[in-house]
Amino acid sequence: MDHLLSWVIFIPLLGAFAALAIRDHQTVKVLALVVTVGDFILSLPLWLNFDSTVAGFQFVEKYAWIPTFNINYHLGLDGISLLLVIMTTFLAPFCVLCSWHAIADRSREFMINLMVMQTAMIGVFCALDMALFYVFWEAMLIPMYLIVGVWGGANRVYAAIKFFIYTLAGSMLLLVAMTYMFFKGGNTFDIPTLMNASFTPQAQFWLFLAMFVAFAIKVPMFPFHTWLPHAHVQAPTAGSVILASVMLKMGTYGFLRFCLPMLTDASLSMTPFILSLSVVAIVYGAYMALAQSDIKKLIAYSSVSHMGFVTIGMFVYNQLGIEGAILQMINHGITTGALFLCVGIIYDRRHTRDLAEFGGLARTMPVFATCFVIFSMSSIGLPGTNGFVGEFMVLLGAFTYDRLTGVLAATGIVLGAVYMLYLVARMIWSECSNPENQKLADLDLREFAILAPLVLVVFWIGLYPAPLLEVMHSSVLHLLDQTGGLAGAPVVAMK
């Protein structure tokens, strides 16, 4: 099929337009489910037909869009973005399913938002033209703003505005950087072309700084993370899932796509700074998570900690680190998404997220408890689950690059266990003393259909990650070539 990538991107948007014409809420839900599942199925050939021996972009589509400014509609996938696209399409049906009953009010509009969102998110990962990238990047904000602001919790407007303004402020700097690169990089927004452009170290420094702020806010890196807990707590379940699983990855994806290959010198010289911030994020995020009594907030802070691993992995300039970082992005998407889905499931029943309200769910909701423990273990990074593979690769990569960073980051595996097990102990184990909890029903079929595939993926990536790693190899090695990391960074001679 020609233009496969375009179809994958725009089918959700078409679905959204179709939904506009339909009045009935139930029909729109079904439509959204069909569209997202269809989109996922459609995206699978991307993976199956992906040639993992090629380092460059595949499924490329290029058409002139705004010739005056040399802006093209340029799409393509490489080993870095492929899995992120698959993950996005994979998670979308769950977002629809988890909102099935939870969003009772204006569910038609909600589904439309989800679908528009989907288009923008996939677009970000596929765009090979900075202007196009920027359009998708900003387009993503609006549905998310509405999802948090309209369907959120009590304090939703504050959270939504904070999220919107904060990320927008970052995006402005990105726009400035883009414009500069357009003029200095040969009047083009084309990403592959710009990867070969060379900027002066001075310019690189400022460009890096601008992009760093834009991406660091999205990741979010310490200390740009404070919008995250607000947004997560207020967002409806589907919003949290999208936010945690996909939107946070945009930041790290940006680092990989722009900073490392285009601003190589600046990246290298800023590495100690990024690594320090990441280590702080890991430890700090874990500590913050430990202090929370709101389940969603706890998981939100754990995201800060986990994304710290990703940013470390990217900036250690070896194959283990970068592939680990990409895998960790996927893992975090799956695991944290799943945890938010779990929280959504009990929120639907109890309408509270206060940890003190829960306890002994292992007795009343055994299937739920099992899934929750599995996802927690994945979050902790227990071998056999997906969390371990990514975390171990990143840590090993970091340790190879710089011992101290590796050691400090590795403390995260203890701290992660502390806050996560604390959560599990309070929620799943311990006494079922609250009468409200004693009559809770276990998962129904819909909820089981949400969690079961995620459990399978957790173990699949945990035990046999080779298919995922394989598609990355060429692209990552190419990226390393571009950064000159193999030469510039202290890499131990391997036998």
Partner 1 sequence: MMTSYVLIPLLPLFSFIVVGLFQKWMRGLAHLVCVPLVFASFGMSLLAFIDVMRGGPINFDLYEWIPVGDFRPTFGIMIDQLTASMLLLVTLVSSLVHLYTVGYMHGDKGYDRFFAYISLFTFSMLALVMSNNFLQLFFGWEMVGLCSYLLIVHWYERGPATKASLKAFIQNRVGDLGFALGIFLIWVTVGSLDYGTVFAAIGEHQGETVSLLGMDVSVITMIALLLFIGAVGKSAQFLLHSWLPDAMEGPTPISALIHAATMVTAGIFMVSRCHPIFNLSPTAMTVVALTGGFTALFGATIALTQNDIKKVVAYSTMSQLGYMVMACGLGAYTAGMFHLLTHGVFKALLFLAAGSVIHALSAEQDIRRMGQARRYMPTTYWTMLWGSLALSGIFPFAGFFSKDEILWQAFNAGLLGKGLWLLGLVVAFMTAFYTFRVFFMVFYGQDNMDKEVKHHAHESPAVITIPLVVLAVGSLLVGWLGNPLFGTNYVHRFLQPVFHSSVSHVPEEHAGSLPALTATAFAGETDESGAAHEGVPMEGAPMEGAPMEGVPMEGAPMEGAPMEGAPAGMSENAGVAAGHAMAAAPHAAGAAGEHAGGHSRGLEMLLMALSLAVAAAGIYMAYLWYYRPNPAPAQLAATYQVLYQGSLNKWYWDELYDMVFVRPTMRLAHGMWRVADEIVIDKVLVDGVAITTRIGGEILKFFQTGRVQHYAMVMSLGICVIFIGFFLL
Nearest-approach distance from CB 333 to partner 1, in angstroms: 19
For residue 171, the minimal CB distance to partner 1 (Å) is 15
From CA 89, how far away is CA 39, in angstroms rounded?
A: 6
- Smallest separation, CB 289 to partner 1 (Å): 8
Kindly tell me the sign of the dihedral angle through the C-alpha atoms of 346, 351, 354, 358.
negative
CB atoms within 10 A of CB 276: 13
Nearer to partner 1, 130 or 283 (CB): 283
Q: Which residues pair with 354 in a beta bridge?
A: 294
Q: How far is the CB of 372 from partner 1 (least distance, A)?
A: 13
As measured in angstroms, the least distance from the Cβ of 418 to partner 1 is 6
Smallest gap from Cβ 283 to partner 1, in A, equals: 10
- Is 203 or 228 the residue whose CB approaches partner 1 more closely? 228
Query: Considering beta carbons, is residue 205 or 287 the nearer one to partner 1?
Result: 287
What is the SS3 assignment for 128? coil
Interface positions with partner 1 (CB under 8 A): 162, 165-166, 223, 225-227, 284, 287-288, 290-292, 319-320, 323-324, 360, 362-363, 366, 373, 377, 382-384, 388-389, 392-393, 395-396, 399-400, 403, 406-407, 410-411, 413-414, 417-418, 421-422, 425, 428-432, 463-466, 469-470, 473, 492-495
Task: Decide whether 185 or 387 has the Cβ nearer to partner 1.
Answer: 387
Supply the DSSP symbol for 189. Answer: -
**C-alpha dihedral, 169 to 171 to 176 to 182, nearest 10°:** 180
**Is 264 within 8 Å of 484 (Cβ atoms)?**
yes
| Between 31 and 248, CB nearer to partner 1 | 248
- We find the least distance from the C-beta atom of residue 86 to partner 1, in angstroms, to be 19
Secondary structure, 3-state, 35-73: HHHHHHHHHHHHHHCCCCCCCCCEEEEEEEEEHHHCEEE
CB of 489 to partner 1, least distance (A): 14
Q: Between 209 and 280, name the residue whose CB sits nearer to partner 1.
A: 280
Between 202 and 226, CB nearer to partner 1: 226
Cβ–Cβ < 8 Å for 194, 181 = yes
User: Token pair of 475, please?
Assistant: 């692209």
- Using the minimum distance from each CB to partner 1, give the nearer residue, 200 or 226: 226
Distance from C-alpha of 79 to C-alpha of 293, rounded to nearest angstrom: 39
DSSP for 339-403?
HHHHHHHHHHHHS--BGGG---HHHH-HHHHHHHHHHHHHHHT-BTBHHHHHHHHHHHHHHHH-H
